[in-house]
Structure 1
Amino acid sequence: MRTTDYLVIGSGVAGLTFAIKMAEKHPDRSIYIVTKQSEDDSNTTHAQGGVAIVMDQEKDSFKKHLMDTLIAGDGCCNASVVEMVVNEGPERLMDLMAWGANFDRDSKGRLDLAREGGHSENRIVHNRDTTGREIETILLNKVRQLANISILNYHFAIDLITQHHLKNTIEEAPACYGAYVMDQKTERIYPIKARATILATGGIGRLYGHTTNPMVATGDGIGMAYRAKARIKEMEFVQFHPTALYEKVQGRLFLISEAVRGFGAYLRDGEGERFMLKFDKRAELASRDIVSRAIDTVLKKNKTSFVYLDCTHLDMSDFKVHFPNIFNECLKRNINVEKDWIPVVPAAHYLCGGIVVDKNGATNLKNLFALGECSRTGLHGANRLASNSLLEALVYAHKCDTYLSENEPQFMEMDQPHWIEVNTHTDKNLGSIILDITERLQELMRRYVGIVRCNEGLLKAKGQLDEIHKEVEALYHGSKLNTQLCELRNMVNVAHLIIEQSLERKENKGGYFNLDYFLHHLEVTAH
């Protein structure tokens, strides 16, 4: 067994920010950061747009940002949470800048604020089109300077340690004592005991196959929390980014940032028509759920695989300054943005629901906290406003650090809960079996649990998932564990939660659109 004061699972902006703040404030406390790949492989690294923060009080206001967030969230946000996060934004940006983060500035030295879909003003603080990479790099540099932080690369958290793992405990309420972690290089599994465990494991995009997320986004934190009996809510609100670069490939698709439409790009169908004007008066600057659904409608109507993003009318010298990465990535694919339209398609991007937490990031399990995309704070409601995710992570990391600094938890008494390897048998075909099941699961989610759903499809998905679940559980208990099998197990748990909570919702909200309720609404309106 290893022991640490704070166990952070995940190495994106939320986990790293918490670790830095705790380590600086309390040099005597130890922090472990567990990450299943290299420490810089996270959703944060791939974030392009920026951080939504009110910095220009003359043109913008906290109230406007709050209202934009509430409108995007379609009545499902917690208004007091939105107010807290929006108001604290400028201070949290100052933290990043104090640590060395650089953001684009205009000719007068002021922050160059961009605008994205759903925002009424320019308020996106950015570093060209690689903001996430800038933030991740700065945070990791800071972490490496702090002696009381240890990063465990290529370590996979399998399960949280709770009462049912232990022989003798004095805790009656549900509690977390740490986690079982696999060293992927040695395949050894051991417990890490902690005063508090912080889940900062990011998103679930790989569950859909076609996603803007990296391969590591398999919903591990949510899967672990679900099995540990943490509250999980609003999993039906999966956000699809409208403009992923269309390619005939499985896995991660390159993201064409929301900011490109904020810069003035047009969406066009195969005939060249700007179709967004038919769906929303804000056209290309409508919120992501509306734009994604509009594209989905056009694709199905025209029986095509993609629509186009047209940037050819824009000031191209300025475009290259703001979006050099996007310009070059398109060029690598023989798309010259100066004269070619970019083929785009919606792809799974962000989960608005997740592990239910309070304003300090605390879950219903004692000493278990969740930060970032894996958490459900109440900020996003039914649909996340563009660039509110990095903001949320920064604010909640600060809140969690403040709470735990003032309320240091004690180590809970427990016997050493060594991991018992049930089966050491390794099937030489296990890898291909896992891949086959994963692809079936992804196809099921895209077909029945995507941008537009219906009750019949959801019930079909539920039935098919039950069969997949049996197969995966048999593999889990009958094979020597590896990362891919554990990831698949987590994705099955997440799929179950999305399907069940989709069936429970009886009205369309934000990112959740059920065709049955839409048709029923039309019938009622007609009568």
Structure 2
Amino acid sequence: MQTDFLVIGSGAAGLSFALKAAEHGRVTVVTKGELDECNTNYAQGGICSVTYAPDTFEKHIRDTLVCGAGKCDPAAVELVVRRAPELIRDLIAWGTRFDKTPDGRFELNREGGHSEHRILHYEDLTGAEIERALVASVRRHPNITLLERHYAVDLLTQHHLGEFVTRHTRGVTCFGAYVLDLMTNAIETVLAKFTVVAAGGCGNVYSTTTNPVVATGDGIAMCHRAKAITENMEYIQFHPTSLYNPGERPSFLITEAMRGFGAILRLQNGEEFMDKYHPMKSLAPRDVVARSIYREMQLHGQEFVYLDVTHKPADAIRSHFPNIYEKCLSIGIDITKDWIPVTPAAHYCCGGVKVSTDGETSIRRLYALGETSCTGLHGANRLASNSLIEAVVYADQAARHAVAQLDRVTIQEGIPDWNFEGTATAEEMLLVIQSKRELQQIMSNYVGIIRSNLYLKRAMRRLETLWHETEELYGKTTPNRELCELRNMITVAYLIIKQGRELKESVGCHYNTDYPPETAAE
């Protein structure tokens, strides 16, 4: 198969890129589940944009930089904040609805770390509303081909033409990807002039996450194997308030907008505690709130704290948070009368594949967007609701950059088809499933909210065993979804541990930086 633009992933970043690029060429969208099975669909709170006074670009920029703990790229922050209003207009043109006040103005929320109300939203289902509008627009577009239930296995570079490629090789170029049809188990070679990886985050390397089950770090791992540069993978953001409901996966998110609405965090005895940790109390940045909750749970030997919104008018609660209200009611909690049990959960990867302000990776003709990428916007801790606007801004930047080169680029010929091997046995597949669970437990136990030198060393040792077992199996079987996901999850877990440079430097920890070996990742 040949196409002008191959898009891997179907969230806000991938689909908004597809819609822009489809005005200039053929687009093929690959997604391993249904089109709307992505992190975007789970985003409750909203999307950031400076809209009305007294808010200003300068205030939004400052809030982002402060929240990012000095690790943001100022150029990325400036770009996203100043282009946000324009991209909000694009979302509305594609059919996205945002809540408005009776006088027709956008109803803006405030969330943790924000100095002003600047969160556009649709009830407490903003991500789902954006995804609905994008999916509808994409399905209607004649230049877009959709491959649902297809899994991108690996990116194609000069390596597949017989050249030895390392991260120091100049001129590495992406030519497309091997794509597995999950219905037939056939692997197709999809050749493209430009490839966009927008495959979401990696929350499922942890036992408890707000991410859907498809978020297994596939895009980051594929780009890493193709020798793209990744950075800041150690900055995993834990959302402070996921619903404590043991056994449920993914964890149900209680949006930060509820604290912006006035909800208060309490210990199980009813005591408020955030005033001990930050002057903004329950509206402190996410990393502060997550660490504070974790500390209080450790001090008191408890598995959750409470979020209390019962002091607000019941009708207003139901109006602003209908989805949360119904979810909690389904397990016997009336949030207009009862406190909500909450606990932190892995939520967002602030790092990823390093990209330019055009969304291009260190590999030519390969772009990374959304949570797969590291633009530098988020620094060490993402400001609430900055992710969706980052996705659509960088999708627009990448589309402009790629389209400008389209007439000068040709499809690469001579890429061999996938070399089919054997089939995994039932026993081997059971091992893969068990290994996934073991990996999640390792990451949750040793690479969570609070980390130490000893914990990271132990996690790396456990990870090494899983890596070698998985690579041995991968080398003798035709890839399937479970095996590919496990391989990708191990790669991402390795990057999260390895790239914790600051922690390692401060405690004098040393790791084997050649692991996984370059040859194993080819």
* TMscore range, shorter length: over 0.9
Determine if contact 1:166/1:414 at 8 Å carries over to the other structure.
no
Q: Are residues 1:165 and 2:160 paired?
A: yes
Shift of 1:472: 0.9
Q: Return the match for 2:333 from 335, 340, 343.
A: 335
- Residue aligning to 1:466: 464
Q: Return the match for 1:310 from 303, 308, 311.
A: 308
- Residue aligning to 2:143: 148
Paired letter, 1:96: L
Per-residue displacement from partner, 1:148-203 (whole Å, max 9, x unpaired)? Answer: 10010000000001111114899961111100000000000011000010000000
Per-residue displacement from partner, 1:370-395 (whole Å, max 9, x unpaired)? Answer: 00001000100000000000000010
- Residue aligning to 2:516: none
Give the distance between the partners of 1:394 and 1:400, measured in 2 at CA. Answer: 10
Give the distance between the partners of 2:502 and 2:419, measured in 1 at CA. Answer: 37
Q: Return the match for 1:132 from 124, 127, 133.
A: 127
Paired letter, 1:10: G
- Residue aligning to 2:352: 354
Q: Are residues 1:8 and 2:7 paired?
A: yes
Q: Return the match for 1:55 from 51, 54, 59.
A: 51
- Residue aligning to 1:110: 105
Q: Are residues 1:46 and 2:45 paired?
A: no
Q: Return the match for 2:94 from 96, 99, 107.
A: 99
Shift of 1:433: 1.2
Paired letter, 1:301: L
Shift of 1:209: 2.0
Q: Are residues 1:31 and 2:27 paired?
A: yes
Paired letter, 2:197: L
- Residue aligning to 1:519: none
Shift of 1:315: 1.4
Shift of 1:99: 1.5
Give the alignment of 1:383-462 within 5 angstroms.
383-408=381-406, 409-421=408-420, 423-462=421-460
- Residue aligning to 2:515: none
Per-residue displacement from partner, 1:248-302 (whole Å, max 9, x unpaired)? Answer: 1163100000000000000011111111111111000000000000000011111
Gaps of 5+ in 2: 510-522
Q: Are residues 1:484 and 2:482 paired?
A: yes
Per-residue displacement from partner, 1:307-341 (whole Å, max 9, x unpaired)? Answer: 11111111111111111000000000111112111
Determine if contact 1:458/1:503 at 8 Å carries over to the other structure.
no
Give the alignment of 1:94-243 within 5 angstroms.
94-167=89-162, 173-243=171-241
Give the distance between the partners of 2:376 and 2:424, measured in 1 at CA. Answer: 43
Paired letter, 2:333: I
Paired letter, 1:416: I
Determine if contact 1:182/1:189 at 8 Å carries over to the other structure.
yes
Shift of 1:504: 5.2
Give the root-mean-square deviation of aligned CA atoms: 1.7
Give the distance between the partners of 2:34 and 2:392, measured in 1 at CA. Answer: 21
Paired letter, 1:111: F
Higher mean displacement: 159-168 or 31-40: 159-168
Give the distance between the partners of 1:358 and 1:201, measured in 2 at CA. Answer: 18
Paired letter, 2:304: F
In the superposition, the TM-score normalised over structure 1's length comes to 0.93
Closer/same/farther in 2, CA of residues 481 and 92 from structure 1, 3 Å limit: same
Give the alignment of 1:251-262 within 5 angstroms.
251-262=249-260
Per-residue displacement from partner, 1:197-237 (whole Å, max 9, x unpaired)? Answer: 00000000011021000000000000000001000000000
- Residue aligning to 1:521: none
Gaps of 5+ in 1: 509-513, 517-527
Paired letter, 2:10: S
Determine if contact 1:169/1:413 at 8 Å carries over to the other structure.
no
In the superposition, the TM-score normalised over structure 2's length comes to 0.94
Closer/same/farther in 2, CA of residues 384 and 515 from structure 1, 3 Å limit: farther
Q: Are residues 1:286 and 2:281 paired?
A: no
Give the alignment of 1:487-526 within 5 angstroms.
487-503=485-501, 505-506=503-504
Paired letter, 2:112: G
